[in-house]
Structures are given as structure tokens and as C-alpha cells.
Amino acid sequence: MSELRKLNHLIGGEPVEPASGRYFESTNPATRHPLYEAARGDAADVERAMVSARQAFEDPRWRDLSQTKRGRLLRRLGDLIAENAEELARMETLDNGKLLREMRGQLAGLPEYYYYYAGLADKIQGDVIPASDRRVLNYTAREPLGVVGAITPWNSPLTLTTSKLAPALCAGNTVVVKPSEYTSATVVRLAELVVEAGFPPGAVNVVTGFGAEAGQALVDHRGIAKISFTGSTSTGSRIASATAGRFVGSTLELGGKSPNIVFEDANIPNAAMGVVAGIFAAAGQTCIAGSRVLAHRSVYDELLELVSARAERIRMGDPLDETTEIGPLAFEDQRDKVAGYVDLGRSEGARVLIGGRSSDGGLGGYFYEPTVLVDVHNDMRVVREEIFGPVLAVMPFDTEEEAVRLANDTEFGLAAGVWTSGLARAHRVATRLEAGTVWVNTYRAMSPMSPRQGFKSSGVGVEHGTETIKEYTRLKSVWINT
Ligand code: NAD
């Protein structure tokens, strides 16, 4: 048998072997075939990456680079991603099982994030403040923070790393990324493209490895100016505690249990399509998955019938196949977690209307059938907890008041969908929902221009849009006595 490819850290623009000499295997979840061995990073590797990032931060080639030129580098990076889109899409499909079709769509939009922040780079500016008499000049400047630690999950490595990298670099920081241990490959490749784009070596470093080792070492490092994290609420909470005591800022994008509310005046076939896409895209492994549906009692049966009929026809299989509609879960434990939740739902009294079984997808992989649970209520754990799989819980409501109450009765507040033909109702309900993003008669729309913030346990801080620049800069007030 041929030896597996070794994937090393990328530090100072070069591949770097782990100080410990240890690697861990990464497999294709659709087939269970081994893909590569990634460097198992620890505190020694993080130290090396931090030194490299700090040197790059202080390097005049980066520190003194004009903001216009910083923008140009980001634009070049966007172009390189576009040029390498097919390679990146395939690589991520093999790593986490996401449909190649879906990945191609994602890659088509990814350069836009770099172009957007390229355009913002020369618009980061301060103010002149009329704070005193005219002999004193007082002005403010937005300065970069220093070295940012970016920690990302496995469900969308390229996109979620980009949400951090693009604004952090735009603002003049340097970065150490710790990607998920399940999906290291595309993040390392992205960092190679950063070097190719002409950023100074060390502007972006990647240390691969496990959360409890490399991730923890990055969070605990004294030189870190900020942690930008996307992942589960439990890990986010640990990171927030660890950083708060040292007065290190953090942006946290966490979990969700988002509702889709379908009113009696909605276009029901459209709502059904939105509900299906909302939960079953990426096999339910998205933070914004619309995993709860609240349907007005008068349209409950019709909606359920349309959703189940569509969900039953979803083609499960090889994510590389253009005709496949749902791929595997990203790894074995995740598949088992999903199966465990459906079993728990059964024991809590939920009825499995369709799905409810594991499968190998005909390929030996970690698949789970699209599943719809009914006879559920808000006290059940399957309704309260994030499953992160293709499992939908559907329940009826009688009044708008009840729909809003049920939707908000959750620790999460990431996103929500509202399906109605009433403009006044759309506005009224959107205002009352405790969610950072509300979609009306659509679901999943996203843009680098549009800010995203999780409410409640779904996060702290903003990603995307102009607001994000504030997350990666600090404000200095300078007084000059003339
Ligand atoms: P996770 O919290 O298990 O891991 C996320 C990252 O944190 C990984 O890189 C992991 O290695 C690292 N990590 C784990 N323990 C750590 C520690 N003690 N110190 C430092 N780093 C540590 O999450 P996951 O299972 O990889 O991802 C799924 C979760 O991500 C879901 O909850 C999902 O909702 C959430 N998510 C949120 C968004 C959003 O924008 N809000 C987007 C995508 C995913």
C-alpha cells in the first residue's frame, strides 16, 4: 500500500513538520478511505506560528504597506481562489463530504468576500475631533490589533475561514489559523494561495491539529490579540472564559436551532421548498439549518405532506456525483450523534414520519437518511438541542403570538425563516424574533456585505459587512498640542 500524503503546517510561508513528529489520519466520509495524514500540532508548533505571525505584523513590508496596496493583495487572492476553484471544491468535498455541486456554488461566490474587503481596505479611517481649542489637534485612528487567532469548524472550512481572514487582513492584522481536525486540507491550500498572492510570509499561518491541543494552545497564547472562533456553543463558552480573564477580545459564531415559521397565508409549495433546503442542505450540517418548523394548524398537513414527499425523494449518495442531493455526515461520531438524537426523540415520544436510519450510502460511508419528526413539543431535547444533521422537527401553532413564543423559546438566536404573504405580518414577526438573521419567504441568503450576528447563545460579535472592521481594529485617540 502506498504511503499517505503528509499535510504539514504552513508557517512563515513554508510547510513545517510538527515538532512532535506526530501526524493523524484524515478520511473521506463518503467512502471511509484514508486521504492524508495531517500534522498533529501542539503548543510548540503554535509558538512557532505565533513568532512568525508577530514578525510579519511588525515587518515594514506589511506594517507600512499602504491600505490601497493591502486591498490589491486581497483582490489578487480572490482571483487566485477563482483560478483554483475546481481543485478547492473537490478537495473540500473529499474532506467533509459536502456535495461537489454545492461546493462549486460556494467557490463561485468565495472570491467576492475578498473583493469586498479589498474595496474596504482603503476606507478604514479615523476622524478629526473638535475636542478642544484650535491649538490642539485631536484625531482618531483605527489600528490593527496584532496577531489574530482564527479557529474554524469542519462543516464549511473555506467559507468560514474566509469570513475571518478577509477582514482581519483588510485591517492590517496577521493571522494564525487552527482548522478543524476533520478538515485541514483546504485551509492549508488557502494559506498557500495567500503566499502566492504576495502577502508577506507569516501574514497567515496554519497549525493543524486537535482542539484540545493546538486549539487550546492558541487560545492560551500570551501573544494573541484576539480569538475569532466559529464552532459549537460549548467550545465557544470555554474560549470566552479563557480569553475574558486576560482581556483578550473574541468574536464567537456558534450553534443554532433555527425555526422556519409557516403562516396560513404563505405560498405553501414555496415554503415547503424553503423548509427542505433549509434543513437538508449539506446533510443538515450548517449552523443556520432550519431544524424546527412551526406551521399554522390550518396548513400543517399540507406542508408536512409536501415536505415529506420531497424529502423522501432526495437522492443520497456519492457527493462527487452531480445528481446526488445529500451526501454523508462528515465523520463517524457525527453520524452516530445524529442517530443517537433520533433514538432519543423516539424515546421522548416523537414519531419518525420519514427516514430515521443510518446508511452506508452504497459506498461504505457515514450517511443518515433525511428525517422528519412529528408529535414533538418544545420540552423535548430533539427540539431544544442542535443535532447538526438531516433531522427536522415539525409542530403546529394556532396564533401568531404562539408562533413567536415557540420560535423564541430556545437558548439559540442565530437565524429564522418567516413564510407569509402579509407584509405587515412579515415586518411585525421579524421585529419580534430573537435571531440575528431573519429571512422572509426565502432561506439561506447570504452576502459578504450583509452583517451576521448570533443572538443569545449563538454568538458574540459580527461577521461580514463593514461592521466587521471594528472587530479587527482598535481605536486610538491622538492629541497634539500645536
Ligand atoms: P467544535 O466546537 O467542536 O470545534 C470547532 C473548532 O474548535 C475546531 O477547530 C476544534 O478543533 C476547535 N476546538 C475544540 N476544542 C477547543 C478548545 N478547547 N480550544 C480551542 N479550540 C478548540 O465545533 P464543530 O463540531 O467543529 O463545528 C460544528 C459547530 O459549529 C456547530 O455547533 C455549528 O452550529 C457551529 N457553526 C457555527 C457557525 C456560525 O456562523 N454561527 C457556522 C458554522 C458552524
Q: For the stretch 158-181, what's the b/e string if a residue is b when 16 or more beta carbons lie within 10 angstroms of its beta carbon?
A: bbbbbbbbbbbbbbbbbbbbbbbb
Q: 409 to each of 268, 328, 412, how far by Cα in Å?
A: 24, 31, 9
Confidence of residue 309 (pLDDT cuts 50, 70, 90): very high
Whose CA is closest to atom 23 on ligand 1? 231
Distance in angstroms (rounded) separating the CA atoms of residues 254 and 17 = 31
Distance in angstroms (rounded) separating the CA atoms of residues 328 and 334 = 10
Between the CA of 140 and the centroid of ligand 1 the distance, in Å, is 36
Whose CA is closest to atom 8 on ligand 1? 180
**pTM listed for this prediction:** 0.97
DSSP labels, 467-481 = THHHHTEEEEEEEEE
Beta-carbon contacts of residue 57 (< 8 Å; ≥ 6 apart): 63, 144, 146, 147, 173, 174
The residue ranges of DSSP E strands in 255-321, in sequence order, are 259-262, 292-296
Atom of ligand 1 nearest to the CA of 154: 26
Q: 244 to each of 103, 240, 412, how far by Cα in Å?
A: 36, 6, 21
| Position 224 pLDDT exceeds 80 | yes
DSSP state, residue 330: S
Q: 44 to each of 4, 204, 221, 463, how far by Cα in Å?
A: 24, 17, 11, 30
Distance in angstroms (rounded) separating the CA atoms of residues 437 and 281 = 18
Degrees, nearest 5: CA angle 110-445-454: 90
pLDDT of residue 399: 98
- Tens digit of each residue's pLDDT (9 = 90 or more) over 278-297: 999 999 999 999 999 999 99
Between the CA of 434 and the centroid of ligand 1 the distance, in Å, is 22
Catalytic option among 253, 386, 400, 463 = 253
| Position 1 pLDDT exceeds 80 | no
| Position 394 pLDDT exceeds 60 | yes
- Tens digit of each residue's pLDDT (9 = 90 or more) over 58-99: 999 999 999 999 999 999 999 999 999 999 999 999 999 999
Contact 459, 453 (CB under 8 A): yes
SS3 content of the chain, % helix, strand, coil (to 5): 40, 25, 35
Contact 11, 205 (CB under 8 A): yes
Partners of residue 352 on adjacent β-strands: 373
State the chain's mean pLDDT as an integer.
97
| CB atoms closer than 10 angstroms to residue 83 | 13
For ligand 1, mutation pick of 220, 221, 235, 338 (most atoms within 8 Å of CB): 235
Beta-carbon contacts of residue 157 (< 8 Å; ≥ 6 apart): 92, 95, 96, 179, 180, 183, 186, 187
What's the start-to-end Cα distance of the chain, in Å? 75
pLDDT of residue 3: 83
Distance in angstroms (rounded) separating the CA atoms of residues 350 and 359 = 21
Whose CA is closest to atom 40 on ligand 1? 253
Whose CA is closest to atom 9 on ligand 1? 180
Atom of ligand 1 nearest to the CA of 414: 41
Between the CA of 173 and the centroid of ligand 1 the distance, in Å, is 22
Atom of ligand 1 nearest to the CA of 232: 32
Q: Which residue type is seen at 304?
A: L
| Position 436 pLDDT exceeds 60 | yes
Residues of the chain above pLDDT 70, percent: 100
Whose CA is closest to atom 22 on ligand 1? 211
pLDDT of residue 134: 83
Identify the three-state secondary structure at position 361: coil
Between the CA of 255 and the centroid of ligand 1 the distance, in Å, is 9
Q: Which residue type is seen at 237?
A: S
Q: 17 to each of 37, 135, 139, 156, 207, how far by Cα in Å?
A: 11, 57, 46, 25, 10
Atom of ligand 1 nearest to the CA of 454: 41
Give me the mean pLDDT over the 113-133 stretch.
96
Identify the three-state secondary structure at position 279: helix
Model ipTM value:
0.97
Between the CA of 232 and the centroid of ligand 1 the distance, in Å, is 4
Between the CA of 231 and the centroid of ligand 1 the distance, in Å, is 2
- Tens digit of each residue's pLDDT (9 = 90 or more) over 321-360: 999 999 999 999 999 999 999 999 999 999 999 999 999 9
| Position 181 pLDDT exceeds 70 | yes
Residues with CB under 6 A from ligand 1: 151-155, 160, 178-181, 210-212, 215-216, 219, 230-232, 235, 238-239, 253-256, 287, 386, 388, 414, 454, 459
Beta-carbon contacts of residue 189 (< 8 Å; ≥ 6 apart): 84, 87, 88, 91
87 part of the active site: no
Give me the mean pLDDT over the 220-246 stretch.
97
Whose CA is closest to atom 35 on ligand 1? 231
CA Rg value for the chain: 23
Q: Side by side, which strands form the sheet with 249-253?
A: 14-16, 9-11, 204-206, 174-178, 147-151, 226-230, 249-253, 459-460
Between the CA of 125 and the centroid of ligand 1 the distance, in Å, is 33
Between the CA of 439 and the centroid of ligand 1 the distance, in Å, is 24
Atom of ligand 1 nearest to the CA of 458: 41
Is residue 301 exposed (0-12), middle (13-18) or buried (19+ Cβ within 10 Å)? exposed
Confidence of residue 185 (pLDDT cuts 50, 70, 90): very high
Confidence of residue 110 (pLDDT cuts 50, 70, 90): very high
pLDDT of residue 2: 66
Whose CA is closest to atom 15 on ligand 1? 211
Higher pLDDT, 266 or 131: 266
Distance in angstroms (rounded) separating the CA atoms of residues 140 and 349 = 60
Q: For the stretch 439-457, what's the b/e string if a residue is b when 16 or more beta carbons lie within 10 angstroms of its beta carbon?
A: bbeebbeeebeeebbbbbb
Give me the mean pLDDT over the 235-263 stretch.
97
Higher pLDDT, 55 or 134: 55
Whose CA is closest to atom 13 on ligand 1? 211
